Structures are given as structure tokens and as C-alpha cells.
Amino acid sequence: MSNHHVDKSMKLFQRACELIPGGTQLISRRPTRFACGVSPVYAERASGSRFWDVDGNEYIDWVSGIGAIILGYCDPVVDEAVRQQIAKGTMYSINHELEVELAEELVNTIPCAEMVRYAKGGGEACAMAVRIARGFTGRDKILFCGYHGWHDWYLAANLREDAGLDTHLFPGIDPTGVPKSLAGTAIPFPYGDLDALGTALDENRGEIAAVIMEPFRSDLPPDGYLAGVAELAADHNVTLIFDEVSTGFRPHASGAQGLVNVSPDLAVFAKSISNGYPMGAVVGRRDVMEAASRMFISSTYWSDTIGLRAALTTLREVRRRDVPKIVLDIGERLMTEITTVADEAGLPARCEGLSFHPHLTFEVEHPQQRSQLATLFIQEMAKRGCHGYTSFYLNASQSAIDIEQTVAAARDVFRIMSHGLERDNLEALLECQQHVESFRRLVR
Ligand SMILES: Cc1ncc(COP(=O)(O)O)c(C=O)c1O
């Protein structure tokens, strides 16, 4: 730990900023999202539950490739299937049988799936689902809850009031570059509040094409909530879309729908559907999906067989290994042990939430202190070989050893945090800028 440094990472990032606007391709990979100057920025390689950065440091990875890794890095079964596919060509001038095979697998796996279209990423697949819903209903407006990517239809929410997206993962997004004529076409609704959704539907009666939402993000839904949403959507003849990009097949081998027993009209998958290979899918009811055959939705790489092969193999492996059970067990153990060491250190913190995506909450009064504690946690854990935010994104390769090392690191780190809190000198303990939540603060 004493000679931990990320000098090479930081130099690379400086070079990147000269060449790449914003420095990274994904906001969640910006160093300012972690402990900038202490957390690793560039990875060199990864395997199982771990990665190595360009400075040669080894980390247990609690971010799982921002959710894309569900089985573990370099999973031998998926990678071998992909290697065999590469040897036969990755894409062709005509179609490949895998397109149909994967569609059959998805239809057999996901409750709402009767037909399927493919994409390469989550935001793109959400945009496709929204287009299909608009085409199917002949209406324009979208009600949404949660984060759904970078496309115009979604960022339009911030055209009329610039805080429209603030409670949906990224606060402070300026809709620069989004056509102003889209103002009023994307309307947020708060999670867990059926009355608020009912009011939004009433106020826009006959104009809403779709309700798109993450079925859950950090906690399970209140009892009956998602069934209530489905009922409201059906009453208003609105397409209900579950964005399952983030949850994927961790809650259940059939996706979130399998856990909550509510079947939407359409659902969107990406990220972990293919364990690290680019892939996305929109699935749903036959009559809704069929509308896509009359719409222009078309792209060259959507037929790429690497993503198709990786997804087919990943889905089968998730079921064969019972990944939802594995991540449930890891998550429950992690939540219990992390909360115990926080108690032992006298730190007012808990590890709680969804078992496959638990998070730390700091029970302190001042938001500034909460933010300093979060950064200090990320910083000190990074120095001890644990990479993450204040949440843990699980994958099936994380082992008892990973948990033991992480809990041992947290035991030391929580003592440091607790002393800092007691002596009111958290700021002095930070070796980096406080980590940044707001997009506006990220870009200025
Ligand atoms: C629920 C949800 N939808 C959509 C997206 C966008 O996916 P992508 O980054 O692959 O475009 C994300 C990414 O974090 C997500 O969590």
C-alpha cells in the first residue's frame, strides 16, 4: 500500500484530455467520479474479479465493468465461444443463424418477449424501444423514470426545466445540442409514487406513447408498485417499457420481470447480457414489436456475431451456474460484514440495498460531510487494492477471498473515517478532490 501510485494513469489522462473531449467515453469512467489522483484511471488487463492498472497495481473490482461483467472478466466459457466464432468470421454480407438462435433463447428466457431486435448498447436500445412505442401508438410524449442513456429523446427532459433529470442518476445535465423543438416530449416521474404517475398520465391523456422506467435501481420496489404501474399504463393504452440494462440477469435468470412477476410490453437489455462484448436487445409483445417492421430501424453492426455469440453463451451460463443465487449470497455476506465493521469502528454507516448492487449510506447530517466520507472511502479502499464507488456491483467470479480482503480493508478505512469524523478533519485526510456528482461540475 505504501508505494501505491497512479502516476502513469494520470499522465495518460492528461494526454487523453488533449485529444478526447471530456477525456473519456463514459461519464462513469471519468477519474473525478472516483478519488482523482489516487484511483486507477487506465486498466491494462483483467481476469475474474480483478484488474491490473497501467501502474502495475492489482485491484478487486467492485464495479464489474460498470455492470457489463456478470460472470467475471475473461470468462473461459464465453471467451472460448467467441474465439471459435471469430475463427469463422465475425460478420458477413448476409445474415447468420445466430440471430434467430439468440432470439429463440431470449423469447424462452424473458416473460414479456415474443419478438426481438438487437442493438450494440443500452442507450441505443432504449432509443429503439422508444421509437417502436411511438410508432406503435402514433403518439410522441414519453414518461420516464431512471437513467436511459445519452440520446435526444431522453435529454429533451431538461429543455423546459433544467432539473428534469436531476433525480434520475445524473444531476446538472445541460441539454446542449438537443433540438429545442423536443421540449415537453420527455417528462420525468418520481419512482414509487403511483399517484404522481396517474396525474402525469391524466394531464397528458391521449398523448403518451410510453412509460419507460428502470424496474428498480438501488432498492426493491414497494409492494404492488410495478403491478400498479402496469395497470395505469394499460388503462391509458400506453406502452410500458422496462429498462433492464442495469439490473440485467442478476436479480433472476429471466431478468427483473422474473423477480417481480410483472410483465411489461417491451424490455431493454444491454451491458451484462453479453459479459463484456458489445450487445443490446429490445424484446417484447408481438403486436408492439411488429410495428418495427414498418419503421426504419437499421444498422450494420447489429448483426455482428461476436455480440450474438457472447450473449447466447452468457445467458446459458447465467442459468447453468445459477448466477442470481451466487450474487445474492455474495451481496448478503458483503452487506452484513461491511455493516459490522462500520459498527465496530463507530462509523455511522450501513451497507444496504439490493443484494446484487448494495451501497453504503452514511448517516451524517451535512451533505458536505457525506460527500467527504464517500471520497475518503473510495480513496483509502483504492490504496488497499479495492476499486469501486460507495456501491458494489457484483459478478459471479467474486469469491470469499475477495470479500475477506475487502472487509479487512474496510475495517482499516472505517477507523480512519471515524477518527476524521470525530475530529472534524475529513478534508485534511483527502489526497484528492472531493468526488463529483453533478455533470455541470464535471464539465466546468
Ligand atoms: C438503466 C440504464 N439504461 C441505459 C443505460 C445506457 O447504456 P449504455 O451506456 O450501454 O448506452 C444505462 C447505463 O448505465 C443504464 O444503467
**Residues 40/29, Cβ–Cβ less than 8 Å:** no
The x, y and z cell numbers of residue 340, run together, are 459490522
Please give the order of strands across the beta sheet that includes 239-243.
Answer: 115-119, 280-284, 266-269, 239-243, 208-213, 141-145, 186-188
Measured between alpha carbons, how far is 296 from 303 in angstroms, rounded to an integer?
16
The x, y and z cell numbers of residue 308, run together, are 450474438
How big, in percent rounded to 5, are the helix, strand and coil portions of the chain?
A: 45, 15, 40
The x, y and z cell numbers of residue 354, run together, are 439490493
- With CA atoms as reference, report the closest residue to 66 among 117, 119, 37, 30: 30
**Per-residue b/e over 52-69, b at no fewer than 16 CB within 10 Å?**
ebbbebebbbbbbbebbb
Bridge partners (DSSP) of residue 48 are 73
Tell me, using a 6 A CB cutoff, whether residue 348 lines ligand 1.
no
The x, y and z cell numbers of residue 168, run together, are 434520475
**Residues 205/170, Cβ–Cβ less than 8 Å:** no
Tell me, using a 6 A CB cutoff, whether residue 245 lines ligand 1.
yes
Q: Which atom of ligand 1 lies closest to the CA of 26?
A: 9
Q: Which atom of ligand 1 lies closest to the CA of 126?
A: 4
Mapped onto helix, strand or coil, the DSSP state of residue 401 is helix
- Please report which helix (H) or strand (E) contains residue 61, including its range: strand 58-61
User: 256 alpha carbon to ligand 1 midpoint, in Å?
Assistant: 15
Q: Which pLDDT tens digits describe the chain residue by residue (444 residues)?
A: 668 999 999 999 999 999 999 999 999 999 999 999 999 999 999 999 999 999 999 999 999 999 999 999 999 999 999 999 999 999 999 999 999 999 999 999 999 999 999 999 999 999 999 999 999 999 999 999 999 999 999 999 999 877 778 777 677 788 999 999 999 999 999 999 999 999 999 999 999 999 999 999 888 999 999 999 999 999 999 999 999 999 999 999 999 999 999 999 999 999 999 999 999 999 999 999 999 999 999 999 999 999 999 999 999 999 999 999 999 999 999 999 999 999 999 999 999 999 999 999 999 989 999 999 999 999 999 999 999 999 999 999 999 999 999 999 999 999 999 999 999 999 999 998 776 665 654 454
Bridge partners (DSSP) of residue 352 are 359
Tell me, using a 6 A CB cutoff, whether residue 188 lines ligand 1.
no
Measured between alpha carbons, how far is 64 from 78 in angstroms, rounded to an integer?
16
Tell me, using a 6 A CB cutoff, whether residue 146 lines ligand 1.
yes
91-303: CATH topology is Aspartate Aminotransferase; domain 2 (3.40.640)
pTM above 0.85?
yes
Task: Give pLDDT, residue 172.
Answer: 76
Q: State residue 68 phi and psi, 5-degree precision.
A: -75, -25
User: 428 alpha carbon to ligand 1 midpoint, in Å?
Assistant: 35
- With CA atoms as reference, report the closest residue to 30 among 11, 17, 18, 19: 17
Cβ count within 10 A of residue 276: 23
Q: State residue 368 phi and psi, 5-degree precision.
A: -60, -45
**Residues 336/406, Cβ–Cβ less than 8 Å:** no
User: Which residue minimizes the CA distance to atom 3 of ligand 1?
Assistant: 148
Measured between alpha carbons, how far is 435 from 151 in angstroms, rounded to an integer?
25
Q: State residue 32 phi and psi, 5-degree precision.
A: -70, -10
User: 146 alpha carbon to ligand 1 midpoint, in Å?
Assistant: 10
Tell me, using a 6 A CB cutoff, whether residue 121 lines ligand 1.
yes
Residue with cell 483527502: 430
Contacting residues for 384 by C-beta, under 8 A, at least 6 apart: 1, 409, 412, 413
User: 28 alpha carbon to ligand 1 midpoint, in Å?
Assistant: 11
Domain boundaries for CATH 3.40.640.10 within the chain: 91-303
Given ligand 1 and candidates 126, 191, 282, which is best to mutate, with the most ligand atoms within 8 Å of its CB? 126
What pairing do the DSSP bridges indicate for beta strands 43-47 and 50-53?
A: antiparallel
Q: How far out from the chain centre does Cα 333 lie? A: 22
User: Which residue minimizes the CA distance to atom 10 of ligand 1?
Assistant: 122
Measured between alpha carbons, how far is 358 from 338 in angstroms, rounded to an integer?
10
Tell me, using a 6 A CB cutoff, whether residue 168 lines ligand 1.
no
Bridge partners (DSSP) of residue 350 are 361
User: Which residue minimizes the CA distance to atom 16 of ligand 1?
Assistant: 246
Measured between alpha carbons, how far is 328 from 394 in angstroms, rounded to an integer?
9
**Residues 270/125, Cβ–Cβ less than 8 Å:** yes
The x, y and z cell numbers of residue 414, run together, are 472505517
Max CA distance (Å), the chain: 67
Domain boundaries for CATH 3.90.1150.10 within the chain: 7-73+323-443
7-73+323-443: CATH topology is Aspartate Aminotransferase, domain 1 (3.90.1150)
